[in-house]
Amino acid sequence: MSFRVRLVSVLLVLACLLVLLVVGTLFSPDRVQARTSGRPLLPGISAQKVDGIDIAVKGQSRVSLRKTAGGWETHTGARTFPGSADRITTFLRTVAGLPRTSLVSSDPRRLAELGLSAEGARTLVLHQTGAPDTVLLVGKRGPSGDADYVQVNGEASVYLARGTLAFFLAQEPAYWYELHVLPDDVQGTTIASISVSGALSVDDIGSGVLRGSYTLRRPSEAKQDEWVVGSPERPADRVTAGAMANSLALFEGVDFVEPSGAAAVVGSGTGGQLDIKVTTFAGKAYSISVRRGPEPGKVRVTTDWSPWTYLANVLLLPRAVLPESKLTSR
């Protein structure tokens, strides 16, 4: 064999080895994983288009959320309540943005180990009108503590999805309720006046009796930090009055009880009643009545604008309804 033939043969062998090396590198598991890592876990999901959410834990339904013409509703067993659009929207944005960080396994024998057995997994079903449902099985938290083992739509592959998915799926049904006592147009900056009357015992939190017979108001919408209180009117402390208005606007319950018509008289004979009227610069008025709840530390709240009765933590009241003396002190 001549030198030229031997040289060509060697060059061909080297070329073949180089091609094999390149192909092996490009298609190695590490390289494939590197290309898929960081892609959306659920590429077909749009937070704006999802109109239904079902969450189940260990095969038992925990809560169903449905989007209606009037907003979101939550369904827990036979109970249907308004849903929190803010929390649901935050959750959907979190889900839509979940990255597919790494492929853990494609071996079905490892599902129980990763918390993805029928008895251990949490199930998230997302509904979109005109599109197939997306089913996400969520298992244990990964070893780094910032990602969950997940399966998508029954695929054999198990991925780690980094994010706060576990936080949302661990919440009780009441987390998804819209429990703000006042509607969205009532904010600390839109409140024109707050009238307080009556008295309510709050001995169990060491505050004695909350009472009031006054009106706190802003003389002008343009001057947000100016307040007057009482009759005759006196200047109120700007910081204290503003903090009270913000606390009242954000006043939130911890759960719903039966509709207000059926619950209004429950507990009305003990502890007294506190009545609050809030008006906005847009001319809207909302009335709130607060009575003692069925257990220590809780109060029942009814309004003239909502059919629901709210169960709230009594600890929130002393910040949302201040004595007149505190509003004028500096």
Tens digit of each residue's pLDDT (9 = 90 or more) over 6-20: 655 655 655 555 545
- Amino acid identity for residue 19 in this structure: V
pLDDT at 84: 95
Residue given tokens 């999901």 in the structure block:
45
Choose among 92, 96, 114, 110: nearest CA to 39. 96
pLDDT at 32: 37
pLDDT at 79: 84
pLDDT at 215: 97
Q: How confident is the model at residue 303 (pLDDT cuts 50, 70, 90)?
A: very high
Region 179-189: mean pLDDT is 95
pLDDT at 7: 52
Region 124-138: mean pLDDT is 93
Q: Classify residue 126 by burial, with Cβ atoms within 10 Å: 0-12, 13-18, 19+.
A: buried
Q: Which helix (H) or strand (E) holds 9?
A: helix 3-26
More confident residue, 293 or 254: 254
pLDDT at 258: 64
CB 77 within 8 A of CB 167: no
* Lowest model confidence (mean pLDDT) among 29-43, 178-192, 195-209, 247-261: 29-43
Instruction: Tell whether the model's pLDDT for residue 109 goes beyond 50.
Output: yes
Q: What is the pLDDT of residues 45-54, one digit of tens each?
A: 888 999 999 9
Choose among 61, 328, 51: nearest CA to 214. 328
Instruction: Tell whether the model's pLDDT for residue 36 goes beyond 50.
Output: no
Region 306-318: mean pLDDT is 92
Q: Which helix (H) or strand (E) holds 20?
A: helix 3-26
CA pair distance 92, 247, nearest whole angstrom:
28
Q: What is the pLDDT of residues 227-284, one digit of tens each?
A: 999 999 999 999 999 999 999 999 999 999 865 444 444 444 467 999 999 999 999 9
